[in-house]
């Protein structure tokens, strides 16, 4: 927290200052409650009161609050909105590792199941009416956290595999958003009208992040689905998959509008930005998202 706040306020504008203040208050409150729950656990460890279970619920709640998971997610989209793409990427990926590790050792099944349902609901429905790409990605991150929680619930290592895939695809997508300075949905309608390669490279990664088969992003969801089926959690699986289709809907809506709709307004000239971008890196990212699932299954078949 103390190392990330200077990165936030480095931009020196009103939005970054507001985001840094919100982030500091939320993290400080969560850390204080976390320390209190640890003291409470050891204080009543040898007594007959059932306080240990409540302390574990407090620990899980503080970790969910620290990483912006539902139902403690309300600060997360507003903080992301005031950050640049690079700092938002750090908040969505690196800053979640420590809370997830602690949460994997302090599980309470009923409470985590409640958080899974909340993350899937709020992450799916919250992104339907958004015009800001940063809030769009923030609600998508909340939805992915629900899948990670489902992996933590039954397998301590599977969530990390899902997290690695999520980091790879998030870096790929935010690299392109940052390269072309995209912050709102209407910019995606105008910028790619003259270049089919840019359309394909950015929206293939976007659909892969949404988990659409046969893209690479479907691979971690496939693993979670197999895990839930093997444990007999069919109702949980049906609920998660159905609401994740809503998330995929607004991914497809954005892709459909940007690929198929024509605009008569004066188009922005981004030829300079396109020539400065790394075409080979964009092509590599697009290739990995398109054929990553096929390559992984090919290796799995021969191993």
pLDDT at 129: 80
pLDDT number for residue 282: 63
Full residue range of the structural domain in which residue 40 is found: 4-302
What CA–CA distance (Å, rounded) separates 83 from 95?
Answer: 14
- Mean per-residue pLDDT pooled into runs of 10, the chain (303 residues): 81 76 90 87 68 76 87 89 88 89 77 88 85 88 90 81 89 82 76 63 82 83 87 84 85 72 50 50 68 61 46
* Cβ atoms of 173 and 250 closer than 8 Å: no
* C-beta of residue 274 within 8 angstroms of C-beta of residue 179: no
Nearest residue to 189 via CA among 268, 77, 280: 268
Q: What is the pLDDT of residue 278?
A: 56
Gyration radius from the chain CA atoms:
20
* pLDDT score at 205: 83
Could you tell me the pTM of the whole model?
Answer: 0.86
d(CA 210, CA 205): 9
Residue 184 — φ and ψ, nearest 5°?
Answer: -130, 160
Q: Do residues 155 and 112 make contact, with C-beta atoms less than 8 angstroms apart?
A: no
Provide the pLDDT for residue 272: 43
If one counts the domains in the chain, the total is: 1
Buried b (16+ CB within 10 A) or exposed e, 40-52: bbeeeeeeeeeee
The predicted pLDDT at position 302 comes to: 45
Per-residue pLDDT at 200: 74
Closest by CA to 236, choosing from 132, 110, 65, 139, is 110
Element (H, E) at 186: helix 185-191
DSSP readout, 199-251? Answer: HHHHHHHHHHHHT-TTSTTHHHHHHHHHHHHHTT-HHHHHHHHHHHHHHHHHH
């Amino acid at each position: 927290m103390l190392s990330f706040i200077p990165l936030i306020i480095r931009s020196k504008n009103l939005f970054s200052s507001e985001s840094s203040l919100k982030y500091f208050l939320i993290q400080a409150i969560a850390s204080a409650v976390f320390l209190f729950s640890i003291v409470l656990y050891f204080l009543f460890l040898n007594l007959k009161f059932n306080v240990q279970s409540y302390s574990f619920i407090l620990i899980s709640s503080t970790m969910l609050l620290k990483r912006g998971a539902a139902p403690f997610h309300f600060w997360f989209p507003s903080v992301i909105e005031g950050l640049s793409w690079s700092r938002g990427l750090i908040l969505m990926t690196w800053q979640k590792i420590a809370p997830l590790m602690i949460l994997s050792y302090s599980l309470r099944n009923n409470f985590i199941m409640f958080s899974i349902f909340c993350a899937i609901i709020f992450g799916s429905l919250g992104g339907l009416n958004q015009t800001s790409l940063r809030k769009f990605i923030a609600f998508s991150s909340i939805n992915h956290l629900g899948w990670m929680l489902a992996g933590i619930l039954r397998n301590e290592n599977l969530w990390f595999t899902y997290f690695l895939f999520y980091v790879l695809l998030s870096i790929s997508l935010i690299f392109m958003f940052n390269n072309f300075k995209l912050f709102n949905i209407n910019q995606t309608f105008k910028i790619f009208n003259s270049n089919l390669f840019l359309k394909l490279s950015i929206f293939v990664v976007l659909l892969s992040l949404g988990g659409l088969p046969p893209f690479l992003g479907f691979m971690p969801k496939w693993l979670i689905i197999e895990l839930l089926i093997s444990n007999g959690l069919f109702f949980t699986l049906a609920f998660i998959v159905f609401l994740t289709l809503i998330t995929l809907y607004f991914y497809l809506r954005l892709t459909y509008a940007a690929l198929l709709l024509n605009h008569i307004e004066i188009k922005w000239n981004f030829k300079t930005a396109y020539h400065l971008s790394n075409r080979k890196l964009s092509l590599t990212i697009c290739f990995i998202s398109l054929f990553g699932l096929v390559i992984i299954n090919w290796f799995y078949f021969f191993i």
